[in-house]
Structure 1
Amino acid sequence: MVFDIVTRSVKVPLMAARNNLKLKSAPRSPNNPGEMPAKRGRGRPAGDHAAKRAELVRVAIAVVAQEGFSGASLRKVAQRAGCTTGAVTYYFENKEAMVLAIVEGLWDEWDSYLAATEDDLKSGFERFLNWAKADESDPWLAGFQLIAHARLDPAFAAIYQRRYAHYRKTLARRLAKEQRRGKIRSDIPADLLADQLCAMADGWMIMFPIEPERFEAERMKALLDAMIVLVSPRGDKL
């Protein structure tokens, strides 16, 4: 016991001395040699915060698409991203926060598609269906998984309701504009047409993973052409 006390009494000054030497030899700021560089917070990853978060969201989408909602985890996202689980939890406190970020990100992407095709209804839906392509299918399949989960989670479902309502209103405004121009049939209110078109697209999205042969390129074009005929006055194409 006396030996332990003596050993500890020697170790403490030695550790202090080593720490003091480390502090003295620490690198200085390149802009001001007399200034110590700022320390990063514990566990805080270096680099652009927004870019890293967006990268992790993309990885999380792929994990949900391939593993399903129940199979997705922060650990699997970290493994696929090549980082630690701690780095992922810096951006997303838990799985729920990560999944909410995925949902918002998917809707942001779809809103950008809608904005990019403001005067072309057919192109907007074509871009929507292009999510189903083999090399771009992760967002489509992840969305399919998350919609199924929303049925069991009221808070989660509320996000879908809010974002979907915004999309339908935007689409209805666009259809109403085209009705005034005589490009869209006016015998059905624009909000009902918007709801019908959304239901049609939802059905395509749900069935694509189950019946991909229904959505080959040629048939997808035929489906879009048929949709345009359905909403055009007297069957005229836009």
Structure 2
Amino acid sequence: MVRASDAAEARERLVGAVVGLVAELGFEAVSVRQVATRAGVSAGTVQYYFPTKQAMLRAAMAEVTARVTTTVRAYHRDLPPEVAVRKTARKIVPLTEAGTEEVRVWLAFTARAAVEEDLAAEHRKTGGLLEAHVADLLARASGRTAAGAGDRANSALLLATLDGLALGAITEPRRLSGRRLARLVDSAVDQALASSRG
């Protein structure tokens, strides 16, 4: 009998393999054989935890979402709101190569969500939570206790801008260097904060 801790560790290793494959090679690289090879397990082990490719992809999306939301919640809890907005923005846009894996996977899922309803539903849920979180931070940075319509609009605009910058960072790294991205991210945050205060 497999211990619960061993099962959790095996599943975590498999999800990590899927995330790595999507980040490096895209969805088409995800197969039972490729995941098994990367994770160092048998194909049967992969199929035990994930009977379909869709199940593997959903698990990978959930993992990346959990990573981001855990970090963002920690910012919200532990930092002044203006600092938390900036840190959140820099989490969404990869300013260094080390930060690109999650963003590559997130953008891959964003594209896939356009044609697959179950992924689209998860994407909408995560996007809505992130938008509400940033709206709350913008309101608090402006001295209000609750986000209003203006904060929500500014949050939506900021997140759309950050998504565009993240896409550019992944597809055009020579044009959008880390230093240039940092300036653009800071400028987008400044505008959002100013609009919420105005």
- TM-score bracket, shorter-length normalisation: 0.7 to 0.9
Q: What's 1:202 paired with?
A: 163
Identity of aligned residues (%): 24
The one of 174, 183, 187 aligned to 1:226: 187
The Cα offsets for residues 11-59 of structure 1, whole Å up to 9 and x where unpaired, read as: xxxxxxxxxxxxxxxxxxxxxxxxxxxxx3xxx6996222221121111
Q: What's 2:20 paired with?
A: 62
CA contact (8 A) 1:45 1:87 kept: no
Q: Report how far residue 122 of structure 1 moved.
A: 0.9
Alignment partners' CA distance in 2, 1:228 and 1:156: 28
The residue identity in structure 2 corresponding to 1:85 is: A
Where do residues 130-169 of structure 1 align in structure 2 (5 Å cutoff)?
A: 130=94, 133-169=96-132
CA contact (8 A) 2:64 2:105 kept: no
Q: What's 1:36 paired with?
A: none
TM-score (norm 2): 0.84
Residues 1:207 and 1:218: Cα distance change in structure 2 (over 3 Å)? closer
Alignment partners' CA distance in 2, 1:137 and 1:220: 13
Q: Report how far residue 213 of structure 1 moved.
A: 2.0
Residues 1:206 and 1:217: Cα distance change in structure 2 (over 3 Å)? closer
Residues 1:146 and 1:228: Cα distance change in structure 2 (over 3 Å)? closer
Radius of gyration: which is bigger? 1
The number of equivalent residue pairs is 190
Residues 1:76 and 1:214: Cα distance change in structure 2 (over 3 Å)? same
SS at match of 2:171: coil
CA contact (8 A) 1:172 1:194 kept: yes
Alignment partners' CA distance in 1, 2:44 and 2:33: 9
The one of 135, 155, 172 aligned to 2:135: 172
SS at match of 2:51: coil
The residue identity in structure 1 corresponding to 2:179 is: E
Q: Which moved more, 1:133-142 or 1:107-116?
A: 133-142
Q: Report how far residue 129 of structure 1 moved.
A: 2.2
Residues 1:133 and 1:58: Cα distance change in structure 2 (over 3 Å)? farther
Q: What's 2:150 paired with?
A: 189
Q: What's 2:56 paired with?
A: 98
CA contact (8 A) 1:62 1:139 kept: no
The Cα offsets for residues 66-102 of structure 1, whole Å up to 9 and x where unpaired, read as: 2211231121000111110111112112111110011
Alignment partners' CA distance in 2, 1:187 and 1:72: 42
Query: How big is the alpha-carbon RMSD for the aligned residues of Structure 1 and Structure 2?
Result: 2.7
TM-score (norm 1): 0.71
Q: Does 1:88 align with 2:46?
A: yes
Residues 1:93 and 1:173: Cα distance change in structure 2 (over 3 Å)? same
Instruction: Find runs of 4+ consecutive structure 1 residues off by over 6 angstroms.
Output: none
Residues 1:232 and 1:67: Cα distance change in structure 2 (over 3 Å)? closer
Q: What's 2:69 paired with?
A: 111
Residues 1:55 and 1:68: Cα distance change in structure 2 (over 3 Å)? same
Q: Report how far residue 188 of structure 1 moved.
A: 7.2
Q: What's 1:35 paired with?
A: none
**Residue segments in structure 1 that go unaligned for 5+ positions in a row:** 1-39
Residues 1:190 and 1:69: Cα distance change in structure 2 (over 3 Å)? same
Alignment partners' CA distance in 2, 1:232 and 1:45: 49
Q: Counting helix residues as a fraction of each chain, which structure ranks higher?
A: 2
**Residue segments in structure 2 that go unaligned for 5+ positions in a row:** none
